Amino acid sequence: MEIKNLEDFLGRIEKVNKAYSELKWEEFLKKNIDNIRYTPWQDGFSKNSLSFNDKASIASSFGLPSEESFSKHIENADSRICTLHSSALLPLLLFYQINPSNKLYVRIEDKLIAFDDVRFEVPNKVFHPSFPSKIDVALISHSQQTIFYLESKFTEYLTGSSSEKIAEAYTDTFRELEIELNSQRIEGSLEGCPIIYGEGIKQFVAHFVGVCKGGTPRNEVEIYIKKGYKIYLGEIVYKFNSKEATERYESYANLYSNIVNILTKKLASSEKTGKGTAVEVQAFQEIIRNARDFEILPQLLTYQDLLKDNEEFKLAETIKSFYKFK
């Protein structure tokens, strides 16, 4: 759907989505208005969100039409990656140029690891074979034989979400983890997190299960894991600057650390017995018993801190400008 009044849209959206207000996308939108439309939603369009017309429009808007490496990675991406504030688009634009000549360095457990390869939207098995978890990024270091699975978050954690619907699907698994979801808050093991991004909890637990169980046949990373590459799991977040955004980041960072503490204890526990009899709980217990070896990063990473440690990393100026990376 064509955008007929950009100023009207921006006046409305800045109250709804922090990305538009803090990142000041007005000039980018004006310059690339022919590549952008309202986001398709159900049988129509959402006037609270903008998307690129298609994947080719993403490359064109950022001046990447001849980038073979970008085309290769975006080809199989979900169509939702076209949303301007997509948390999957962010890592794709930042990391697609990782290669042996353009390494990304990440410090893990006081060890600096040079990643020279990357995959996106990597599928792992969860509870149902038809519904794998697709983690946003897998950073690969062939020289240090390491896989780093990363889930990406952009604006999602700023708004929180009701946990009730999520609890319906994951109640038994969360009970097994001693996590009690209750509408807008989490009780028990996860105190001190006043703003809850419930979907983020569900996604990270799903990715945890996925890494425990291993990849689907379409997971291109499995070949390296079978060769003995060490596996890490973590989450990376875009950090906004406003006072409210900072408070919500700190709340989500606390929530993440608490969840990781619970999951890590489960992995290390020799007594892997559950409290329920539901199929999901039994399946989860079996997953823990047979989990492959991997470690979870205890704290969130931020895109800003990661790029501070990679000043020589090649990144297009259009992408730096869009996300306000210095």
Query: Would you list the domain boundaries of the chain?
Result: 1-83, 86-312
What is the spatial distance between Cα 244 and Cα 242, in angstroms, rounded to a whole number?
5
pLDDT attached to residue 172: 64
pLDDT attached to residue 183: 39
pLDDT attached to residue 261: 87
What is the spatial distance between Cα 11 and Cα 250, in angstroms, rounded to a whole number?
28
- At how many degrees (to 10) do helices 243-268 and 198-213 cross? 30
Question: Could you tell me the pTM of the whole model?
Answer: 0.88
pLDDT attached to residue 157: 85
- Compute, in degrees rounded to 10, the torsion defined by CA atoms 83, 84, 86, 91: 130
pLDDT attached to residue 324: 94
Residues in the chain: 326
Q: Render each residue's pLDDT in the chain as its tens digit; 326 residues.
A: 567 677 777 776 766 677 777 888 989 999 999 999 988 887 778 777 899 999 999 999 999 877 778 888 988 888 889 999 999 999 999 999 999 999 999 999 889 999 999 999 999 988 777 788 899 999 999 999 999 999 999 988 887 654 555 545 566 666 666 665 543 344 434 455 555 677 787 789 889 989 998 998 889 999 999 999 999 999 999 999 888 888 888 888 888 888 888 888 888 874 444 444 445 455 667 777 778 889 999 999 999 999 999 999 999 999 999 999 97
> Which among 157, 154, 302, 184 has a CA at the least distance from the CA of 244?
157
pLDDT attached to residue 194: 53
What is the spatial distance between Cα 210 and Cα 162, in angstroms, rounded to a whole number?
24
Q: What is the 3-state secondary structure (H, E, C) of the chain?
A: CCCCCHHHHHHHHCCCCHHHHHHCCHHHHHHCHHHEEEEEECCEEEEEEEEECCHHHHHHHCCCCCCHHHHHHHCCCCHHHHECCCCCHHHHHHHCCCECCECEEEEECCEEEEECEEEEEEEECCCCCCCCEEEEEEEEECCCCEEEEEEEECCHHHCCECCHHHHHHHHHHHHHCCEEEECCEEEECCCCCCCCEHHHHHHHHHHHHHHHHCECCCCCCHHHHCCCCEEEEEEEECCCCCHHHHHHHHHHHHHHHHHHHHHHHHHHCCCCCCCCCCHHHHHHHHHHHCCCCCEECCCCEEHHHHHHCCCCCCCCHHHHHHHCCC
